Amino acid sequence: MDPRIRRRIERREARVAILGLGYVGLPLAMEFVRAGFDVTGFDVDAGRVAALNAGKSHVGDVPASAVRSAVRSRRFRASTDFDLLKSADAVSLCVPTPLGKTRDPDMSFVEGAARAVAARLHPGMIVVLESTTYPGTTSEVLLPLLEGGGLRAGKEFHLAFSPERVDPGNPVWGVRNTPKVIGGITPACTQTAALLYSKVVDRVVPVSGTAAAEMVKLLENTFRSVNIGLVNEVALMCDRLGLDTWEVIDAAATKPFGFLRFTPGPGIGGHCIPIDPLYLSWKLRSLNYQARFIELADTINSRMPDHVVEKLALALNDRRRSVRGSKVLVLGVAYKRDVADVRESPALEIVRLLRGRGAAVRACDPLVGPFRVGAEEFRPVACTPKELKAADAVVVVTDHSAFDMEAVVRHARLVLDTRNATAKVRALADRRGNVVRL
């Protein structure tokens, strides 16, 4: 290992750059600041940069007070000027990796970030990709771009992959106490990157190389996707068999070994679970291999919004109403409980399907502002007794803790509960007979 960079890391003198200040990059930047490093965060969104420099936060897991403190200490600044990378000792790439229209990986953000770094790459620099992607990205995409100027990874600079493991809204596990997997292009790259991250996380887990580290992340999220797909199919089977899905799951979960509890829902959302496994499926197709578990889970999970709307249609039909013309109140637009993120949220597809069937849809989410479904804009309303009583049906899509489920059951004419959110008021629901569960 380069003794100079080791010394700068150990003394907290290494200057750290974070490319991408979203839900991954900003928490990482704050953790480096807490560890005593000077951090410059880069983002192409000038408004976001200005807000951060003013001490404001757009990420729920990062309080504004932490940003203000970091800015006031002069250990953190945000910028759109990528020339400041020239003075960085270490760069973490935390940029989006979405799927394209054909559901193939879109590497444009990674490639753009890599080119920005390549133009300012200097001897001794540590470059770490954190964006989730397919095995081979670091060596096949980043490495050629970074070595284009003549410097060699493992000799003149260090290149590694370390998958982000952010769980938005999780009050227990954060950047510091979640083990950090790191794989370098060479053993020296792994060692150097591991030393850097060991200063900000409690445990570093080195692996044999970048492809192994990339595969680790995809295994983690494929595991979740497949198991969610399994339990969603169990919900579909229980529906056909006339069984209570939640009773079956609760009873199975009493087994102290050999069973891990997953729960069904209206679909999957967020940036990771609906997307990450498809990176692996895409990569394997190029090797003439079909990732059948991944594709089957994706099919089942993607169809859950249709199942929710069909179940609502049947429930309304039992009450001599059709979906067309009915007033439907959707509770929860975010993809996950107690977060404000609507990326890939199943609520958006449920709203689209309901509007396609002619329902008048209103939405309630205390964490989400105006959102669009196609060309139509929706402005969330408050979950008041008046709104609940006015609706022909209420669909619980996201079980935010702010929702008073007793009030929902008491005032709504019909409740379709896709999250078992009404379990604690089961007696009231049974008396009223107005709750249908997924």
List the catalytic residues. Answer: 272
Is 416 within 8 Å of 396 (Cβ atoms)?
yes
Is 391 within 8 Å of 413 (Cβ atoms)?
yes
- Between CA 114 and CA 261 the distance in angstroms is 40
Q: Which regions of 229-378 does DSSP assign to beta strands (E)?
A: 327-331, 360-364, 371-373, 376-378
Amino acid at 355: R
DSSP H/E element including 18? strand 15-19
DSSP 120-156: T--TT-EEEE-S---TTHIIIIIHHHHHTTS--BTTT
- Between CA 336 and CA 361 the distance in angstroms is 20
**φ, ψ (nearest 5 deg) of residue 103:** 65, 30
Supply 3's token pair: 């003794």
Is 312 within 8 Å of 393 (Cβ atoms)?
yes
DSSP state of 82: G
- Between CA 173 and CA 391 the distance in angstroms is 38
- Between CA 92 and CA 19 the distance in angstroms is 6
